Amino acid sequence: MNILVTGGSGFIGSALCRLIARNSPHRVVNYDLLTYAANPLSTADLAGADNYVFVRGDIRDADALARVFARSRPDGVIHLAAESHVDRSIDGPRAFLDANVIGSYRLLQAAREYRDSGSAPENFRLVHVSTDEVFGSLGPEGKFSEATPYDPSSPYSASKAAADHLARAWRRTYGLPTIVTNCSNNYGPRQFPEKLVPLVILNAVEERPLPVYGDGMNVRDWLYVEDHARALLAVLESGRVGESYNIGGDGEMTNLELVRAVCAELDLRRPRRGGKRHAELIEFVRDRPGHDRRYAMDSRKIRRELGWAPRESFAAGIAKTVDWYLENGAWRAAIPAASYRARLGGAET
């Protein structure tokens, strides 16, 4: 297959491009605007591969999208390009509506025109990548299923919810073959350092405070990024058009437990002076407005239908992740300091 990936220079997109280029028989075109969230070093190792092409472009640009469809003639699209940081969406929601809603709309229209032009292969399909955050917040029990009603809390999750609805509407109204995926929190290498896991690692090694929102008891269902990438490729290859698939790791953990787990890894690798523990750097900060208490995914459908399951245990995945950030200072240095959001509050999950 020729696969067009949008947002392939970001955290999850770069893992997906690497999976396709290195471990699949397919070819991949990465279409990415290279916003502050992208790091060109995240795909630098793919530059010489004959089944990987990078095209710099904006999903809001209809002409550029028409060109990339015409040139790459994709069998499938996996759409990840988005503004993805909840805290930034609280400070400035407009950019999220532009990228996530209008951008997704333009991409759906471009895919529709490509399909209608007759140049798309017969089984052409588009996978729209979304989040568990569209479902809102859970109480202490239960999990989100594919049938859970949408109830987003933040401008970010509301913009993703809108895009999910567009993807479904384009299927029902125009017959565009779309599939929606909703995934839980990802962790792993190459995540923008405003996010909780890399922020904790990078702050801790510099002996800076580790900000944790509220009481630290918000629960997320953590999944290693490469497991998400495998799920997305499986959905593109074998998912049922018109369906949605929840993707999760059965890895429920409070933010505090997660931060402590990262600190414990750092204690082993980079012990602090005077026998202090990295966890002593934890500081509780004022909670995020509208902060959802708990997310947990019921991912039985994708496991049953597509035979997907996470391969990475949390213990092994977090150890690999900590090692990666400690060993890849050049990746971190390639992100201009000015592109960081002022870290006055808690860390982004």
Ligand X SMILES: NC(=O)c1ccc[n+]([C@@H]2O[C@H](COP(=O)([O-])OP(=O)(O)OC[C@H]3O[C@@H](n4cnc5c(N)ncnc54)[C@H](O)[C@@H]3O)[C@@H](O)[C@H]2O)c1
Contacts with ligand X by CB under 6 A lie at: 6-7, 9-13, 32-35, 37-38, 58-60, 80-84, 99, 103, 129-131, 160, 183, 185-186, 192
Q: Which is nearer to ligand X, 120 or 225 (CB)?
A: 225
Asked if 56 and 348 count as a contact pair (C-beta separation under 8 A), the reply is no
CA 253 – CA 295 distance, rounded (Å)? 10
The β-bridge partners of 214 are none
Q: Give DSSP secondary structure letters for 95-126.
A: HHIIIIIIHHHHHHHHHHHHHHTT-S-TT-EE
Q: Which is nearer to ligand X, 9 or 154 (CB)?
A: 9
Q: Of 48, 50, 57, nearest to 9 (Cα)?
A: 57
**Residue showing the smallest CB distance to ligand X in the complex:** 10
Question: Nearest 5°: CA angle at 113, between 111 and 115?
Answer: 70
Tokens of 294: 């708990």
Residues forming the active site: 132-133, 156
- In the complex, least distance from residue 200 CB atom to ligand X, rounded to whole angstroms: 15
Q: Which is nearer to ligand X, 59 or 282 (CB)?
A: 59
Question: Is residue 16 within a helix (H) or strand (E), and if so which, with residue range?
Answer: helix 11-23
Distance from the Cα of residue 3 to its chain's centroid = 18
- In the complex, least distance from residue 130 CB atom to ligand X, rounded to whole angstroms: 6
Q: Which residue has the tokens 């609805």?
A: 165
- In the complex, least distance from residue 141 CB atom to ligand X, rounded to whole angstroms: 22
Q: Which is nearer to ligand X, 132 or 281 (CB)?
A: 132
Tokens of 166: 């567009």
